[in-house]
Amino acid sequence: MKPKVLITRAIPENGIELLREHFEVEVWEHEHEIPREVLLEKVKDVDALVTMLSEKIDREVFDAAPRLRIVANYAVGYDNIDIEEATKRGIYVTNTPDVLTDATADLAWALLLAAARHVVKGDKFVRSGEWKRRGIAWHPKMFLGYDVYGKTIGIVGFGRIGQAIAKRAKGFGMRILYTARSRKPEAEKELGAEFKPLEELLRESDFVVLAVPLTKETYHMINEERLRLMKPTAVLVNVARGKVVDTKALIRALKEGWIAAAGLDVFEEEPYYDEELFALDNVVLTPHIGSATFGAREGMAELVAKNLIAFKNGEVPPTLVNR
């Protein structure tokens, strides 16, 4: 008899097909998240779970799933899973690194450029007819933005995604600063990146990009005190997790001009709604789509399947989180 896996959302078919050869597969096909009580019911007889970052996988889920041996998160971040509890129970947890690195770094850059150069504001100005109404074809001071080329970028978190953001910054002739738990001598050499303590990085950077995982240490790491260290012309970009930034403080920073602009792909609560933030025209917002490319999502589906198949074959899953 094949072991049973529950996939809590319709991930790309390539991953599901691979899994069907080895597992009895059930997919929660609905667009909306699986309701908590349904999840708790369905996990009763599963050996494996494929989860999304929007599902909290904790003690309650583990208690309801006596046969569960592996959780494959369809994301590189795994702050939605109680890793300590899983490890205690001998449940493997895997994630999807590498395959989404470039897609996420690209989106960080899309937000950075859009926020620096008024791309969204400009789009609204044109399509709303406001440009035509004003009747000014071109003006030397219209929609002035911030220079990117040759400026300083500070990257908070210098793992795969942070380094991929830095690679792109190199092409923009930027001075690259980074902060991380430990120094990365190879990346420093390859990218010409300089290690800086967070406070210094914030003071010196024209663009600050957050690429750290959410942990107890990084929760509200960017708070009022730290936002006040940034340049009034600086742009903050967050492609990590919403809770890394204290949103209330960020709104004040954007309103009162402690910083110039922000680009946010992630929010403290998702889906997010906040009229005070949405009223600001110096912030560009996207709905947690860092890895949302066809290629990255297929790569994630394949990696999820590879992890589960390795586990089923008695091998160590390739991207095991809790070794």
Per the annotation, where are the binding residues for NADP(+)?
A: 158-161, 181-182, 184, 217, 239-241, 265, 288-291
Instruction: Give CA–CA dist 82/279, Å, rounded.
Output: 36
Among residues 204 and 265, whose Cβ is nearest to ligand DGY?
265
Q: First and final CA of the chain: distance in angstroms?
A: 28
Q: Is the Cβ of residue 77 or residue 159 nearer to ligand DGY in the bound state?
A: 77
Contact status: 291 vs ligand DGY (CB under 6 A) = yes
> What string of H, E and C letters represents the secondary structure of 108-175?
HHHHHHHHHCCHHHHHHHHHCCHHHHHCCCCCCCCCCCCCCCCCEEEEECCCHHHHHHHHHHHHCCCE
Among 57, 76, 221, 254, binds ligand DGY (CB under 6 A): 76
Distance CA 92, CA 179 (A): 30
> What residues from 124 to 183 belong to the interface with ligand DGY (CB under 6 A)?
none
Q: Does 75 bind ligand DGY (CB under 6 A)?
A: yes
Tell me the closest approach of the beta carbon of residue 76 to ligand DGY, in angstroms: 4
Catalytic residue list contains 241: yes
Q: For ligand DGY, give the closer residue by CB, 222 or 230.
A: 222
Shorter beta-carbon distance to ligand DGY: residue 53 or 169: 53
- Single out the residue of 15, 162, 263, 290 in contact with ligand DGY (rule: CB under 6 A): 290
Judged by CB under 6 A, does residue 263 bind ligand DGY? no
Of the candidates 242, 166, 172, 173, which has an alpha carbon nearest to the alpha carbon of residue 201?
Answer: 166
> Is the four-CA dihedral 40, 43, 48, 49 of positive or negative sign?
negative
Active-site residue, from 288, 298, 302, 315: 288
**DSSP string across 16-38:** HHHHHTTSEEEE---SSPPPHHH
Compare residues 77 and 317 and give the one whose CB is closer to ligand DGY.
77
Residue with tokens 């800086």: 196
Look-up of token digits 């936002």: 227
HSE, CB side, 13 Å, CA atoms: give it for residue 65.
27
Instruction: Confirm or reject binding of residue 53 to ligand DGY (CB under 6 A).
Output: yes
Identify the residue among 100, 211, 212, 262 touching ligand DGY (CB under 6 A). 100
Binding segment toward ligand DGY, per CB under 6 A, in 64-72, 73-81, 230-238, 301-309? 73-81
Strand pairing of 92-94 and 70-73?
Answer: parallel
Q: Please say if 288 is a catalytic residue.
A: yes
Q: Which stretch binds ligand DGY (CB under 6 A): 75-83, 152-160, 253-261, 270-278?
A: 75-83
Number of C-beta neighbours around residue 175 at 10 A: 16
Distance, CA of 43 to CA of 64 (rounded, Å): 6
Closest approach, Cβ 265 to ligand DGY, in A, equals 8
Among 23, 28, 71, 77, binds ligand DGY (CB under 6 A): 77
- The DSSP symbol for 245 reads B
Binding residues for ligand DGY, rule: CB under 6 A, are 53, 75-77, 100, 290-291
Catalytic positions? 241, 270, 288
